[in-house]
Amino acid sequence: MAFAKKELFDAEMQECADLYKALSHPARLAIMKYLAETKTCITGDISEEIPLGRTTVNQHLAELKSAGLIQGNIEGVKTYYCLDIMKVKKLKEMTGRFFGTVCCDDNCCEN
Amino acid sequence: MAFAKKELFDAEMQECADLYKALSHPARLAIMKYLAETKTCITGDISEEIPLGRTTVNQHLAELKSAGLIQGNIEGVKTYYCLDIMKVKKLKEMTGRFFGTVCCDDNCCEN
DNA sequence: ATTTAATGACGTAAAAATACGTCAAATATA
DNA sequence: TATATTTGACGTATTTTTACGTCATTAAAT
């Protein structure tokens, strides 16, 4: 009785919401930032940068990956993660559009 | 055993994550957009614009409000909702900073 | 060949989110 | 005053998220 009425909404809104959800945990923002800073794509020692257990961090990585914001390249035993720039750019554009509709200066109430 | 390690993270990251979480449901994005479009601050007949039950929409409104993205002014029986422009602008700025650190052009991997 | 390291898969407990129904309070309206 | 309207509070069932432990697999190092 409590699920997935989300398809009832506009497709772009849906996609945008999903991406914001992917970014809605500080650990995932930290991962994104870390991956952006260490230009060389980084392996799962990301866990050492994040104050959470290894499996939990892995879970967050999986979420970012399923949202399409990062990629993981397997090389030997290690998996190298990196940002998916294209997706990040797409998000940036959608976000721009969102703020375009939402953030005009003469909106609302007693302001 | 499964909660709130979120305080372990940077304050801005935390705040940013909370705001993205507020925007992580299409209904809430739709509400934001609707409030932005109907310049006059709008009452709970927002429910009629959103394909969800009245109480559910109310719940989403409460979430946006507790995130600080909208305000609700009570007038008689009715409650007039509107965007909190200041907060939206703050989010816009934080988002700008985020994309600043994350979205450089020569990042990562085989791109 | 055996040990070590790195990872994802799987399971799980606790918590939060989602979607509603029902109810009561407050305010208009008849 | 009685009735209708608008709303938030509260309760609840279901699903999803969060955080982690354990295990198995794969590959590298000894």
Question: B35: closest CA among B3, B70, B62, B9?
Answer: B70
Is residue A110 in a domain?
Answer: no
What pLDDT, on a 0 to 100 scale, did the predictor assign at position A54? 92
* % of chain B residues with pLDDT over 70: 83
Q: Which two tokens stand for residue B13?
A: 């990251």
Per-residue pLDDT of chain A in tens (111 residues, 90 and over written 9): 556 677 778 899 999 999 999 999 999 999 999 999 886 666 677 888 999 999 999 999 999 999 999 999 888 888 999 999 999 999 999 999 999 988 765 444 433
Give the confidence band of B85 by pLDDT, cuts at 50, 70, 90: very high
Is residue B59 in a domain?
Answer: yes
3-state secondary structure at position B75: strand
Question: Any chain A CB within 8 A of the CB of B102?
Answer: yes
Is residue B4 in a domain?
Answer: no
Residue A86: how many CB atoms within 10 A of its CB? Answer: 10
Residue B106: how many CB atoms within 10 A of its CB? Answer: 7
Is residue A2 in a domain?
Answer: no
Q: Residues, chain A, total?
A: 111
- Nearest chain B residue to A2, by CA: B56
CATH of the domain at A26: 1.10.10.10
What pLDDT, on a 0 to 100 scale, did the predictor assign at position A8? 79
How many domains in chain A?
1
Say which residue, B6 or B104, is predicted with more confidence: B6
Is residue B1 in a domain?
Answer: no
Distance in Å, alpha carbon of B100 to nearest chain A alpha carbon: 10
Contact between A108 and B35 (Cβ < 8 Å):
yes
Give the confidence band of B87 by pLDDT, cuts at 50, 70, 90: very high
In angstroms, how far is C5 C1' from A54 CA? 14
Is residue B102 in a domain?
Answer: no
Domain span holding position A82: 10-91
